[in-house]
Structure 1
Amino acid sequence: MSQTVTVKIKLLPTKEQALTLTEMSKTYISTINDLVSEMVKEKKNTKKTSKNIDVSLPSAVKNQAIKDAKSVFKKAKKTKFETVPVLKKPMCIWNNQNYSFDFTHIYLPIMIDGKAKKTPIRALLVDKDNRNFNLLKQKLGTLRITKKSNKWVAQISVTIPTVKKTGVKVMGVDLGLKIPAVAVTDDEKVRFFGNGRENKYKKRKFRSVRKALGKKKKLNAIRNSKNKEQRWMKDKDHKISRAIVNFAKENKVSVIRLERLANIRQTTRTSRKNEKNLHTWSFYRLSQFIEYKANLEGIEVEYVNPAYTSQTCPRCSEKNKAQDRKYKCRCGFEKHRDIVGAMNIRYAPVVDGNSQPA
């Protein structure tokens, strides 16, 4: 078993290198689109090699462009050419035989004075203890360089071998707003993750800042504020998902169960004052972070039907509505309502039916 992840690395090219990368990225995309157009016209794959393509790119990059063009053509062929994808975002890709790196630079062929020359580009790879650097010791795939928000980023595809956990120990995770996540193992160990009050305060502060900027008609500042808020939210999701997976590892959990998120905005318990937070928080992203981090550790993730998970008594199965944060049942069972949700998620029906026996 293996898992493929993308390692992102910030690049600090010189002005000359940045200009070269910009031109190469535009050329790379236009080359792919031209090849796809030719193949669609002829209704067959191209037989061109790097020698047949007269553009200012290293031969290795030309070969990658041909490979990518064939992939796009294959997608178009599946739709009987009713939909032909056209790439727009500038980028450039090198295969794993044409780049290398150390603690400070990435070395790859770029065009200098009309010739391909292997060139060091400064990169923030930091130290040996950095998690990204440890990931880069695994099997490497392609390297993609692109520009995001005026910053250059290298994205390296990494394939990591995983070992599936033996035995079946299940953990349920309930996602929410006031408490971002609650986990309960099948031997009743409980952990709360994240700080809903802090999240709510920060999001309210971001909205307040944008409202003030809107009155001053500072559109760029508003856009920057939204981007900053998204980065902050994404960082929170990364930290919570990592803590959840670490808790699962500590308790030798082999299966994590989450709610299917298709209708979470309709079913999540919330009040009018929490409505804005509900519709701007990415529950899906958090669940995806949990899934891919869990898979790296050999832990399976299953999605369950969320119906009545917060209302059903784990002891007697009677349905009751929680009052505020406390759940009470006539049978005498009492718990925090999010713990009840996580307890029931452990044994709820799995959406695709392929559940591990709990």
Structure 2
Amino acid sequence: MKITMQIKLQPTKEEMALLDFTMQEYISLVNDILDYAIASDIMPRLTSKTMIAPLPSALKAQCYVDAKSIYNKTLKHKSRLPVLKKPVAIWNNQNYTIGDGYVAFPLFANNKTTKTKIAAIVPQRVLDITATHKLGTLRITKKGDKYVAQIAYEVEEPTIKVDGNVMGIDLGIKCPAVAVTSSGKTKFYGNGRQNKQKRRKFAAKRKKLGKAKKLKAIKKSRNKEQRWMTDQDHKISRAIVNDAVVNGVKTIKLEELSGIRQSARTSRKNNHSLHNWSFYRLAKFIEYKAALAGIEVVYVNPAYTSQTCPCCGKRNHANDRNYVCSCGYHTHRDRLGAVNILTA
């Protein structure tokens, strides 16, 4: 499986300008190739010599690869071709080097291509990975005023053994995740109240910035909120998988991602939280961390998991967070979801 690591670049002002120019030209060339394909109704055969752009040959070739991939995907799914806007540039694994304190890759300047070393914060962990793993593409992007190098690398997935303990996980808003194992253990993860409060503060701040027409500050605030939310999902998914390993879990059951937003109960005050909280991201974090631990992940239909009694099968609506059935069964509403996902 592929994992992506990030390296913070520390370019000079001249290098910043060159990186900005390169990323913009890269996106422009990809869009030009796609425009050509639309007009011709076929993906053209192009080489680095026939593609006119102030970019190294390696980048031109990668532009063609990216454009062809986008074109083929849109044909397969019968969707409209997108127009790429976010500045980015991608080098294949034969055209860059990672060293102690730098990342080097070819750039086009003064009418010639030169492999340029850009100062970077390269942890020892990254150096160890580059020495022991097969690296994929290098992707340079810009987040705010920071430049980031993203490198994909391959890791071998452990052999998954399906026999053993099973864990069912219910994802939600008030409680980000509840896990129940087939051995009877239950655990709640994350703090939904804290998450909502944090996001409301970010939203209130952006509202004030909007009245002041501070667009850059609004974007910075939104990026900061996304980083915070992503960090929370990483911590929750890591805790879940760690507990799964300790409890001998071999299979984790999650709700099908396509129906998770529809199945989650919401209200007007929760609506903003629901549509800004990425269930998909948390599920994917759990999935890839579980794969590295040799744990299988299975997705099940979440329909009525928060209403169906696991003892008699009768459907009841919970009173706030308390679920009580006429047969005598009672539990926390979110735990009920996890129990039903476990037995699905």
User: CA contact under 8 A between 2:161 and 2:295: conserved in structure 1?
Assistant: no
Q: Which residue of 2 aligns with 1:95?
A: 92
Aligned Cα root-mean-square deviation (Å)? 2.9
SS in structure 2 opposite 1:188?
coil
CA-to-partner distance for each residue in 1:69-89, whole Å, 9 max, x for gaps? 443454566689x95554443
Instruction: Find the counterpart in structure 2 of residue 354 from structure 1.
Output: none
Q: Please identify, of 92-101 and 50-59, the stretch whose mean Cα deviation from structure 2 is larger.
A: 50-59
Distance in 2 of aligned mates of 1:325 and 1:73:
47
8 Å Cα contact 2:90/2:137 also seen in 1: yes
Match of 1:276 in 2: 272
Deviation at 1:183, TM superposition (A): 0.5
The residue that corresponds to 1:23 in the other structure is 21
- The size of the alignment, in residue pairs, is 342
CA distance in 2, matches of 1:73, 1:200: 39
Q: What 5-or-longer segments of structure 2 have no aligned partner?
A: none
Aligned to 2:105: 108
Separation in 1, partners of 2:273, 2:77: 39
User: Paired residue for 1:305, among 277, 301, 312?
Assistant: 301
Sequence identity percentage: 53
* CA distances 1:303-338 after superposition (whole Å, capped 9, x unpaired): 222222223232333333333333334444333222
Change (3 A) 1:86 1:323: closer
**SS state at 1:71 partner:** helix
The match for 2:146 is: 151
Secondary structure at the counterpart of residue 249 of structure 2: coil
Q: Does 1:138 align with 2:133?
A: yes
1:285 alignment counterpart: 281
Amino acid at match of 1:91: V
Instruction: Name the CA distance, whole Å, in 2 between partners of 1:321 and 1:76.
Output: 42
CA distance in 2, matches of 1:308, 1:190: 20
Q: Does 1:182 align with 2:178?
A: yes
Corresponding residue number in structure 1 for 2:56: 58
TM-aligned CA deviation for residue 13 of structure 1: 1.1
Structure 1 residue 116: Cα displacement: 2.1
Name the CA shift for 1:341/1:79 in 2 (closer, same or farther; >3 Å). closer
Cα distance 1:54–1:171, how it changes in 2: closer, same or farther (>3 A)?
same
The 3-state SS of whatever aligns with 2:121 is: coil
Contact kept? 2:161, 2:296, Cα under 8 Å: no
Distance in 2, matches of 1:119 and 1:346, equals: 53
Distance 1:205 1:40 in 2: 45
> Deviations along 1:212-264, whole A, 9 cap, x unmatched?
44454544433432332222112211211221122222222222111224444
Residue deviations 1:40-70 (CA, integer Å, cap 9, x gap)? 6666665543344454332322332333344
* Aligned-partner SS, 1:50: coil
Deviation at 1:135, TM superposition (A): 5.1
CA deviations 1:74-110 (Å, max 9, x no partner) are 4566689x95554443322211011111242111122
SS of equivalent to 1:161: coil
Unpaired runs of 5+ residues, structure 1, are 349-358
Matched with 1:162 is: 157
Name which of 321, 329, 335 aligns with 1:333: 329
Partners of 1:43 and 1:307 lie apart in 2 by 43
Map 1:242-281 onto structure 2 (within 5 A).
242-281=238-277
TM-score normalised according to structure 2 size: 0.86
Equivalent residue letter for 1:164: T
Indicate the SS of the match to 2:338. helix
| TM-score, scaled to structure 1 | 0.83
Give the aligned partner of residue 230 of structure 1: 226
Counterparts of 2:111 and 2:69 in 1: how far apart (Å)? 28
Q: Which amino acid aligns with 1:99?
A: Y
2-structure distance, mates of 1:206, 1:334: 37
Change (3 A) 1:339 1:40: closer
Q: 1:79 to 1:312 in 2, by over 3 A?
A: closer
**Cα distance change of structure 1 residues 49 and 323 upon mapping to structure 2, 3 Å threshold:** closer
Residue 171 (structure 1) aligned with residue 129 (structure 2): no
Cα 1:206–1:70 shift into 2, 3 Å: closer
Give the distance between the partners of 1:78 and 1:275, measured in 2 at CA.
34
